[in-house]
Chains A and B, each alone.
Chain A
Amino acid sequence: MSASTQLVLLGVNHKTAPIELREQLAIPAHRLAEATSQLLARPGIREAMILSTCNRVEILTTQDTAADTVDFLNQYLAIDPQLLRPHVYEYREQEAVRHLFRVASSLDSMVVGEPQILGQVKESYTVARSVGAVHSQLEKLLQCAFATAKKVRTETQIGSSSVSIASVAVDLAQKIFGSLEGKTVFLVGAGKMSELAARHLMQQGAGSILVANRTHDRALRIAESFHGKAILFEDLYSVADQADIIITSTGAPHAIFRPEHGQRFLQRRRNRPMFFIDIAVPRDVDPRMNELEGIFVYDIDDLQSVTASHMAERSREAEHAESIVTAEVERFQQRLQTLDVVPAIVGIQQSAEEIRQAELLRAHSRLQTLTPAQLAAVEAVTRGMMNKFLHMPLQALKTAAREGDAAKVEAICAVFEGGACAAHSVEAEAAAVKGTEAEKAGESRSDHEQVVAGRIEPEAGA
């Protein structure tokens, strides 16, 4: 960022603030545009974006150093500053870039690797852009954040495995049946987790659901909520073979599905596979059922150990993702610094070109005798000399910018700023002596050459 503006990111998230406070701070989607506009209207704020999810509220701004963004939160949400302050984190410049990249890449999420956060950041960006709060600096930064998040997704396996019991159950069912289209789910007993698993399976396309419970009324209620069919608990064994996936969570003190049942089911199903998800404790499905070819049994411990191994895998992948983010932050900073010297490079080139044009103008009368081809050759030679002369200092300028060597950048710029002044003076001089170029040309050219070459101080040519 330029010297007068700063990139600032402040906010609260699930690590720094309790849910009660996050609830107060959350800005609903329909108010996001208005909130962003109000933030932008505050003195000192040049660009702004607000990210508000259930786990975080963050404000990203490019602003004058004096601007106070926390004050905006206090006023806009009418929250006591004393209550808010201890929970707020604030990052500036490179640290803000790093934090944003980590958030977009889902490395700062409660469940590392969850895919929703990138969509939420993009949504906030769209809103901020629509109210005119995103210009060149935030635009560049956010595009880099999206590219980094994409890189993390494609180059690591951070989001490839499920980390909740319900989604692990769905994954397993898909490994067995492929598509869940048309598959029948049988919910035996009722419980929050089993209903959640059933809901996940239905969302993935499972065709129909059967429900059996010792209390038939409860079975009817659950079946109704899933648009399924309630089965009498007594009919459990005669109906079970119709189901491809059985989720069981009864309070029975002993196994209700045993190998002899499994064999009977397989016979009736012509060995088509069956998947038992046993969430009950004590278990409803005899573990020996898993030994039958075509029957797959996962109890709550199995599901939890799969979930834990997925979490461990994500942690390993997160380390790789962190190194990608670090590299991308560095690259962004380098790009930013290189971009910072672009105006200086353009200025130096313009100055040199002006000197060249002025010198050609000064020599105009002496060059009149040349043919068009010879004039073109003079033009090419002078331009070539100018480019060759500028090549090394400009390369040095770019390298110094990339390496963050501010002193070197300033030194090179200072030398050429003199050159630029000299060029302007040459122009004025050339206009003044238009009639007597021949007499003064040699002396003047010699001076300008020295200025450009840095052998004399700019003042000498002015």
Chain B
Amino acid sequence: MFLLWLRVAAALYGLASLAALPAVLYGRKRWVKICVGAAIGGAFFHFVSLAEMLNASHHWIPAGMHEVQSLLALLIVLAFLLIALRYRTVSFGMFALPLALVLVLVPAIGPDKYTFTSPLIRNGWVMLHVAAVLAAYAGLIFSMLASLLYLLQERRIKSKRPASRLLPWLPPLETMDQIAHRTLLIGFHAMTIGLLSGCLIAQASMGSAYFHDPKVILSFGMWLLFVVLLIIRRSQGLRGRRAVYLSTLVFLVMISVWAANQFSSFHRFTTP
């Protein structure tokens, strides 16, 4: 049954992604309502599907590639909805919703071939670890999006064509800066919690060998980059082009960390 709900969610995310185009590009109010409504509906069915999926497999943390992707997509959509509610802007939907759709499409097509078989998945600490790391990814993605939109809006104002019909709903620069900073801060805290909980689990179950794992090393690298980004932001008021460069760098590291599952002896999704 969870596949059906996930497909409904995917269809609604698809609708929301399409609605985001006229809503953001041309500021059509009716499409804003459709976009937000479809995203809320999608998130609801997505949550139901995820809960059923986890319940059916008798564990409460995502233990397979599909489940992890699905949870990350849900976190991204929730972050989009929170930003839409707090800052009254749907501009992020243009990027965040298609991303959530892509993440959800593969799990919606069929059952997972790759599942994490370790008995550790029943451990509550692992649940905290996975959820926190995924929240950190979502925070970073939004921070980068906010920096990109900041750059776009900055260019538009500098070009002396502020009334362009394109993207009339881009939020003001300061709002975008706040979003970029806050999501980065949330991402940093989540990453710290994720790393600490991961360290505790690894130390207790496998000892120090765990820390030679490439995914773990890259994750620490990513955490350090988070720290650098935050320090520069705080001391220099990092904005615009440089903020985009640094966020993109951290994002690339994040992709590498994600991809490092293939080389990780502990994080590998083994074939059942």
A-to-B contact residues, CB < 8 Å = 161, 171-172, 174-178, 269-273, 290, 293-294, 296, 298, 302, 305-306, 309-310, 313
B241 touches A (CB below 8 Å): yes
Please name all residues of chain B whose beta carbon is closer than 8 Å to the beta carbon of A175 when the two chains form the complex: 153, 157, 162, 172-173
Contact A269-B157, Cβ < 8 Å, known A161-B163, A176-B174, A313-B163:
no
Do residues B241 and A273 form an inter-chain contact, with CB atoms below 8 A?
no
Contact check, A270 vs B236: say whether CB atoms are below 8 A apart: yes
Q: Is the CB of A294 within 8 A of B162?
A: no
How far is it, in angstroms, between the C-alpha of A177 and the C-alpha of B171 when the chains are bound? 10
Which residue of chain A has its CB nearest to the CB of B165?
A313
**Given A270-B236, A271-B236, A309-B163, CB of A172 within 8 Å of CB of B172:** no
Are A306 and B174 in touch, CB under 8 angstroms?
A: no
B152: chain A residues within 8 A (beta carbon): none
Contacts of B240 in A (CB 8 A): 293-294
Q: Which chain B residues have a beta carbon within 8 Å of chain A's beta carbons?
A: 153-154, 157-158, 160-163, 171-175, 235-242
User: Which A-B residue pairs are the 7 nearest by beta carbons?
Assistant: A270-B237, A178-B172, A271-B237, A178-B175, A178-B174, A293-B240, A302-B160
CB neighbours (8 Å) of B241 from chain A are: 293
- Contact (Cβ within 8 A) A310 B163: yes
Contacts of B174 in A (CB 8 A): 176-178, 273
Q: Closest Cβ of chain A: how far from B87's Cβ, in Å?
A: 9
Closest residue of chain B to A293 (Cβ to Cβ) is B240
| 6 A–B pairs (Cβ distance < 8 Å), ordered by A | A175-B153, A175-B172, A270-B236, A270-B237, A305-B160, A310-B163
Residues from chain B with a CB closer than 8 A to the CB of A296 are: 157-158
Chain B minimum-CB-distance residue to A305:
B160
CA distance A175 to B236 in the complex (A): 22
Instruction: Flag if A176 contacts B163 (CB, 8 Å).
Output: no
Inter-chain contact A176/B157, CB cutoff 8 Å = yes
The answer to whether A172 touches B157 (Cβ under 8 A) is: yes
Give the residue of B157, B163, B172, B239 whose beta carbon is less than 8 angstroms from that of A271.
B239
Task: For the complex formed, measure the closest distance between the CB of B85 and the CB atoms of chain A, giving whole angstroms.
Answer: 16
Task: Tell whether A176 pairs with B158 under 8 Å between CB atoms, given A269-B237, A294-B240.
Answer: no
In angstroms, Cα B237 to Cα A270, docked, is 5
Contact B163 A306 (CB under 8 A): yes
**B153 nearest CB across to chain A (Å):** 7
| Pairwise interchain contact B160-A294, C-beta atoms closer than 8 A | no
**Whole-angstrom distance between the Cβ of B239 and the nearest chain A Cβ:** 6
Q: When chains A and B are docked, how far (Å) is the Cα of A172 from the Cα of B236?
A: 25
Cβ–Cβ contact B173 & A273, under 8 A: yes
CA distance A313 to B161 in the complex (A): 13
- The interface residues of chain A lying within 8 Å CB-to-CB of B153 are 175
- A296 CA / B235 CA spacing, docked (Å): 22
Contacts of B236 in A (CB 8 A): 270-271
Knowing that A177-B174, A296-B157, A302-B160 are A-B contacts, what are 6 other residue pairs whose CB atoms are under 8 Å apart, sorted by A's residue number?
A: A161-B163, A171-B162, A177-B173, A271-B238, A290-B158, A306-B160
Q: A170 to nearest B CB, angstroms? A: 12
Question: Chain A's nearest CB lies how many Å from the CB of B266?
Answer: 42
A185 CB to nearest B CB, Å: 16
Report B80 CB to chain A, min CB distance, Å. Answer: 19
Most A Cβ at <10 Å: residue of B157, B162, B171, B237: B162
| Shortest Cβ distance from residue A243 to the other chain B in the assembled complex, whole angstroms | 15
Residue of B158, B163, B239 ringed by the most chain A CB atoms within 10 A:
B163
Hey, which chain B residues are within 8 Å of A310, CB to CB?
Answer: 163
Cα(A416)–Cα(B157), bound, Å? 70
**CA distance in complex: A174, B157 (Å):** 11
Bound-state Cα–Cα, A310 to B172, Å:
19
Question: What is the CB-to-nearest-CB distance from B176 to chain A, in angstroms, rounded to a whole number?
Answer: 9
Known A270-B237, A271-B239; judge A176-B172 contact (CB<8 A). Answer: yes
Q: How far is the CA of A175 from the CA of B175 in the complex (A)?
A: 10
Q: Which residues of A contact B239 (CB under 8 A)?
A: 271, 273, 293-294
A305 to B160, CA, bound (A): 9
Pick the contact of A178: B158, B163, B171 (CB < 8 A).
Answer: B171
Give bound CA distance, A298 to B175, whole Å: 21
Least CB distance, B22 to chain A, in whole angstroms = 14
> In the complex, are the beta carbons of B237 and A174 less than 8 A apart?
no
CB distance from A153 to the nearest CB of B (A): 12
